[in-house]
Amino acid sequence: MNRLNHLPTLRINPSEKRSLTYRGKSYWGFAGDTVATALFANGVRVFGRSLKYHRPRGLYSLDGECSNTCMQVDGIPNVRTENTPLKEGMRVKGQNVKGSAQFDWMGFMDKLDWLMPAGFYYRTMHKPAAVWPIAMKQVRKAAGLGTLSPDFEMKGLFDEIYPTADICVIGGGVAGMRAALAAAESGLRIILLEARPHLGGCFDYRVSPYNDDKKLYERARELADQVRQKDNIRVFTHTSMVGAYNNNLITAFQVGKEQDEFDERYIEIRAVSVVVATGCIERPLLFEHNEKPGVMQVGCAHRLAHTYGLLPGEQAVFSVGHDLGLEAAVDLFDLGLKIPCVADIRKDGQDPRLLMALVERRIPLLNGWVAAKVHGGKQVKKVTLTTVEGTVRRMIPCDLLVASAGLTPVNGPLTLAHAKLVYDSHTGYFLPTDLPEKMFAAGRMTGRNHPLSIEASGRLAGLQAAASYGVNNKTALAEAETALSGLPGPERGCKLVTAPVKGRKTFICFDEDTTVKNIKQAIDMGFDVPELIKRFTSAGTGPGQGGIPGHNLPLYVAQYTASTTPPKPTTVRPPLVPTFLATYAGTNHDMCKRTPVHDAQVKAGGIFRRIGVWQRARYFSGDFDCREDILNVRNNVGLLDASTLGKFRIHGPEALKALQRVYVSDMSKIKEGRIKYSAMCNDDGCVIDDGVVVKTGENDYYFTTSTGRACVTVEWIRYHTRFDGWDFHLVNLTDAMGVVNISGPNARKVLEKVADADVSNVAFPFAGYREFTVKGLIPVRAMRLGFVGELSYELHIPSSWMPAIWDILEEAGREFGIRNFGVEAQNVLRMEKGHIILGQESEQRTNLLDLGLGFLWDRTKNEAKTVGAVALRQAEADPGRLTLVGIQMEDNARAPKDGSIIVDDRVRGYVCTARKSFTTGEAVGMALVESQLSDIGARLDIFEDECNGRLLYARVVSMPFYDPEGQRMKI
Amino acid sequence: MALTLTCPVCGKRNGYEFRYGGEDKGPRPAEKGLTPRSWCDYVHMNKCVAGIQKEWWYHKDGCGSWFTTHRDTVRNLEVNEPEAPK
């Protein structure tokens, strides 16, 4: 098909070709085309089949208000091809068809409409009950939209941004642009959203004169240039606003252009004031076969020609109710479209200049006439016109019917913002009566249609928004008000909803195949409110989000029921336009941290698992029991990366008071050069954290927390001291410091080789804290701990030195056979010692006493108001609590799974950690059990997941299981 | 999600940056004389006002300060401190 390449309004670039494949054939389009316009240029007229009746469907609105042009593009179903930009190599397929869109074997369904009255899906096929499953299967096979293959994987990049703006203008037509420019005068930061790929709105494709020397499209482009030159206006094109929330939070989705890095992105705008200038859509005209391919709206036909260079047909009849229709007829006639006649629903009130233009072109105008029916198989061949009263009929051959009842405002954004919409009998629009705080409406949606009025209302709204932001612009505001009042106000609109027809094939909702007859049936059955009729007939619940039936439905219901109360629109909800779930999901949010020695552990064969925000090496071989690693720590020496520990400095004159508040122990007893192990509880006395504290100087402490608590420790301490105003400072050193744990009987031999200090048992005893350097350079904070039950040093080193010290220790330990051990090996080693890990040997309700850690709690420091102390005092007297005990399996062959429950006639506790110990040869573990079962020797019945009723049995034993005297860590 | 809050250090910021810290119930009571019930009331019981209440917020993705502010729980908007009834 030849394009009208000479038009100055074109938005395609005829020098840049883009290819697509459809039904095995390759087609060409141009940059700037949508998928649908490219197919249309290649002769495709039937784009898809309807939901129930498999009726052929074609281009209708070009703005995605219906599912007519929904197709499968690159494997993604339900893509609205009419507003999806064409990209190189797209693969397009029809959907909901047996065969093809052109020849659909299911086409016979259209003849069966008498079988499917309103609500048939709810009312029939369920008696007898056995029918329903069969019927449902058949219905679902025959009806529907696109299908998603089970192995489908969404490709592409889905971005998200959260910009703030002083003023957000929704709608990039002339009203929106004038509003943005007016508000930008005072230097405010403006965000301008436009759903189409370019600014200009309804001026963009029109060549009627704006004034003596400019046409409308030239004016639009002039304004767009002015907008672009303003540094303080940020423009988002191809961005559909989908949600409005209180506090003027606006959400939108932007479709990526070819050169953009993202395919689609979520935009959440926090604006102080908002201007809504979303304009109008056409209200569909209701008549028989009103959605047959070849019937399209005025704007669709007009834009096909002027934006995409495609003449929409050869011979066209117009049936319109608005001056835009007459303008399009004149304009398309000049481009070569044959027009046998134009039917105008209105009997008078047309723009005299347009009437003159029609006369000049000898296009007959039928005032008070409307289309009643189109004829033809898959495409329009003839149209029957009738007077509005239905008295006279006339049939005219044509291949295109441009049909539109009138205009109706896009007021979804106002509804979302809880504005009240009231039917206005002058314009026939639903207009807002009380706009929310700091929200303003402008442009065509207010009923104004004169180009100068549209602009003036935009400017006024922009200034009002700026004033509501706090700008003092009284003079400009008064001038803008005067200017607008001198211009034509809201115009009288066409009220006709339906042609004088019975409505068996008059579709009020295209997406759901709902006819006017269906609506009548619903009303006759007693549904009298549009909201209920909508649900019963499913009109307006399809992918077009109610774009086609949105305002026709309440208007028709009011008309048919001869209601005395004014019609009310049905509720709209976000998202206002269909969007990908992928865009909501955004890009991968699962970001995790790696320790400074991640790479070294990868090289050593580490198998990593996610722990909190971290990736940690859990195993170092395929043996997930970690036998070799464990025995190496017990008999030799092992190296563990513990950098994920929370590490903090607290200093200042009142630092100790803060520590006393959150730690259960008496922290004033910390001795220099010694470590203090303690725990933090919450206000219920439940343990939330444990770790060690050292004193590094006067009023200066360094402490560790568990991995999972690192991110909330600062918050926790400041929360519980928030009323006190104490003078202390907290520094989170978690990422600044790394931690190496070197454990095993040979640990000292390794450390001796590299440390610049005496690390003998006398100089650096168990529970000691020392600061020294390694190799004369690397500063180390060393603690002697016993978590794994062997001679063990925990070295805290600045992160940047971590890879170096890791290499140094591995090198020094090579002669002893040092090897890495992972988190699982550590887990078993400490379990053999009966040392707890919070979250494993505890859950939310486990308090300090349950864990047998009551010795940590200092009861004398009442003045400190220690967090948890009051609750602990109360819990002491509570007999109905769980107690942590050691267990040994009666059958030492294997341990139960972690988390298995302990039962008799009810649940009595659960196994926290249990392993087969390689050190002792026994299957042992720790369990939280009711205190009645906690005596040594008590027998426990363990119900393991998937055990099929075969219980496991254990006995309560004393802990620790290994080295009960604790000699080995003190050597 | 539409909430914005005014941090005393960082100014008006997106509500996502903050963590709720509960209604303002005043400083921790002295331990002496506390009954299990009065303690439990302090820790767990809330007024759940439908209207304006004073509450604590933490600027977790910002400066890390705890501060109090007034919020209209019906509209979920931060508001000025209401004038004391005369």
pLDDT band for A140, please (50, 70, 90 cuts). Answer: confident
Q: How many CB atoms lie within 10 A of CB A365?
A: 17
Q: What is the pLDDT of residue B86?
A: 64
| A34-A275-A481 Cα angle (round to 5) | 125
Whether the predicted pLDDT of B42 surpasses 70: yes
User: Cβ distance A505 to A288 under 8 Å?
Assistant: yes
Strand ranges for A620-754 from DSSP E:
638-641, 646-651, 675-681, 687-697, 700-705, 729-732, 737-743
Residues A697-715, mean pLDDT to the nearest whole number: 94
Q: Are strands A264-276 and A439-441 parallel, antiparallel or unpaired?
A: parallel
| φ and ψ of A829, to 5 deg | -60, -45
- Rounded CA gap, A794 and A812, in Å? 16
| Per-residue pLDDT reduced to its tens digit, A393-408 | 999 999 999 999 999 9
Whole-number Å distance between alpha carbons of A344 and A319: 6
**CA neighbor of A332 nearest in space, from A402, A389, A410:** A402
Collect all residues of chain B within an 8 Å Cβ-Cβ radius of residue A164: 14
Q: Is the pLDDT of residue A530 over 70?
A: yes
Instruction: Write out pLDDT tens, residues A910-948.
Output: 999 999 999 999 999 999 999 999 999 999 999 999 888
- Test A869 with B34 for CB contact under 8 angstroms: no
Of A37-46, A148-157, A736-745, the least confident:
A148-157
* Paired tokens of A622: 């395929």
ipTM of the complex: 0.96
A513, burial (CB in 10 Å: exposed 0-12, middle 13-18, buried 19+): buried
Contacts of A862 in chain B (CB under 8 A): 31-32
Distances (CA, A) of A911 to A25, A481, A834, A843: 64, 76, 13, 12
- What pLDDT shows up at residue A147? 84
Q: What is the DSSP letter of A970?
A: G
H or E element, residue A630: helix A627-635
* Whole-angstrom distance, CA of residue A86 vs CA of residue A35: 5
Model confidence pLDDT, tens digit, residues A550-573: 899 999 999 999 888 888 888 888
CA distance B26 to B46: 12
Please list every residue in chain B whose beta carbon sits closer than 8 Å to the beta carbon of residue A720. 28
Cβ A790 vs Cβ A741: under 8 Å: no
Locate A403 and state its tokens.
Answer: 């049909």
Q: d(Cα A752, Cα A872) in Å, to the nearest integer?
A: 44
Helix (H) or strand (E) holding A749: helix A747-754
Residue A60 CA: distances (Å) to CA of A16, A47, A298, A401, A755: 26, 11, 9, 10, 80
Tokens of A145: 């939209």
Q: Which two tokens stand for residue A839?
A: 């979250």
Residue of B nearest to A247 (CA): B2
Choice among A113-127, A214-228, A535-549, A641-655 with the minimum mean pLDDT: A113-127
Q: Do A827 and A618 contact (CB within 8 A), yes or no? A: no
pLDDT at A116: 82
Residue A587 CA to residue A156 CA, distance in Å, equals 9
pLDDT score for A155: 87
Helix axes A516-524, A552-560, angle to 10 degrees: 50
Shortest distance, CA A276 to any CA of chain B (angstroms): 18
A273 vs chain B: nearest CA distance in angstroms?
A: 14
Residue pLDDT, tens place only, A604-632: 999 999 988 999 999 999 999 999 999 99
Q: Does A469 touch chain B (CB under 8 A)?
A: no
Give the model confidence (pLDDT) of A76-127 as tens digits: 999 999 999 999 999 999 888 888 878 888 888 888 888 888 887 777 777 7
Nearest CA in chain A to B36: A874
Q: Is the pLDDT of residue A309 over 90?
A: yes
pLDDT at A109: 83
What is the C-alpha separation between A228 and A224, in angstroms, rounded? 6
Residue with tokens 């568990």: A706
CA nearest to A272 within chain B = B4
Cα–Cα distance for residue pair A398/A377, rounded to 1 Å: 13
Report, as an integer, the average pLDDT of A71-78. Answer: 92
Q: What is the mean pLDDT of chain A?
A: 93
Nearest alpha-carbon partner for A282 in A263, A303, A298, A258: A298
Rounded to the nearest 5 degrees, what angle is found at the Cα of A214, between the Cα atoms of A210 and A217? 70
Strands of the sheet containing A25-31, edge to edge, are A25-31, A13-22, A90-93, A70-73, A76-80
Residues from chain B contacting residue A162 (CB–CB below 8 Å): 14, 16
Mean of pLDDT values over A217-222 = 97
pLDDT digits (tens, 9 = 90+) for A639-694: 999 999 999 999 999 999 999 999 999 999 999 999 999 999 999 999 999 999 99
CATH code: domain B4-78 is 3.30.2270.10
Average pLDDT of the residues in A422-435: 93
Whole-number pLDDT of residue A565: 85
Tokens of A803: 């890879």
Give the pLDDT of residue A443.
Answer: 96
d(CA A345, CA A369): 5
Band the pLDDT of B35: cuts 50, 70, 90: confident
The model's pTM: 0.86
Share of chain A above pLDDT 90, in %: 83
pLDDT at A1: 64
Question: Partners of A245 in the beta sheet?
Answer: A249
Tens digit of each residue's pLDDT (9 = 90 or more) over A795-850: 999 999 999 999 999 999 999 999 999 999 999 999 999 999 999 999 999 999 99
Block residue for tokens 């070295």: A795
Residue type, A620: F
Supply the pLDDT for residue A897.
95
The residues of B whose Cβ lies within 8 A of any Cβ of A are 1-4, 14, 16, 19, 21, 26-28, 30-32, 34, 36, 39, 43, 56, 58, 60, 64-66, 75-77
The rounded distance, in Å, linking the Cα atoms of B82 and A329 is 61
**Are the Cβ atoms of A871 and B39 closer than 8 angstroms?**
yes
Domain boundaries defined on chain B: 4-78
Q: A870 and B39: CB-CB below 8 Å?
A: yes
Residue A144 predicted with pLDDT over 80: no
CA–CA separation, A138 and A134 (whole Å)? 6
The answer, yes or no, to whether the previous bond of A128 is cis (omega within 30 of 0) is yes
